[in-house]
Amino acid sequence: MTEKFEVGQVLQGKVTGIQPYGAFVALDEETQGLVHISEVTHGYVKDINEHLNIGDEVKVKILNIDEEKGKLSLSIRATEEAPKRASKPATTKNNKKAAAESTSSSAGFNTLKDKLEEWIQQSSDREETYNK
């Protein structure tokens, strides 16, 4: 198997089977590999059938080769560019204070990261007040 394939290699394959945990992809007449559901695309995949169908031609990257069991671990996601995350606008001291105030007044769930930033800002504001 290692004569034909190596880890990191990118190949064209054909989806031959779909299970709730992943998709089987034929790389040639004798060799199949598994694309685990977590390797189908970037982000969360609830239902693999929403992304792949039997017979689909897909580009895959070999992640692992298990010689003993004759199994290949494949990834479609590794052949695609990750989606860009929305960048946060640059913040100034006044913007941070306004953001902290709006965060504290909004109802609902706040992540620890958001609250931590707010607490740090409040602490800095208090420190400035006491040092005047």
Note the pLDDT tens digit of each residue in 89-116. 555 555 555 555 555 545 556 677 777 8
Helix or strand run (H / E) with residue 129? helix 112-130
Domains of the chain: 10-79 (2.40.50.140), 93-130 (no CATH)
Q: How far is CA 49 from CA 19, 40, 56, 76, 84, in A?
A: 9, 11, 11, 14, 25
| Nearest by Cα to 120 from 96, 92, 89 | 96
Q: Quote the CA–CA distance of 72 and 5 in Å, as a whole number.
A: 9
pLDDT: which is higher, 32 or 87: 32
Task: Give the pLDDT confidence score for residue 15 in this predicted structure.
Answer: 95
SS3 26: strand
Judged against a pLDDT cut of 70, whether residue 118 lies above it is answered with: yes
Give the number of other CB atoms < 10 A from CB of residue 32.
Answer: 17
| Band (64; pLDDT cuts 50, 70, 90) | very high
Q: Considering the entire predicted model, what is its pTM? A: 0.60
User: What interhelical angle do 112-130 and 93-105 show, nearest 10?
Assistant: 120
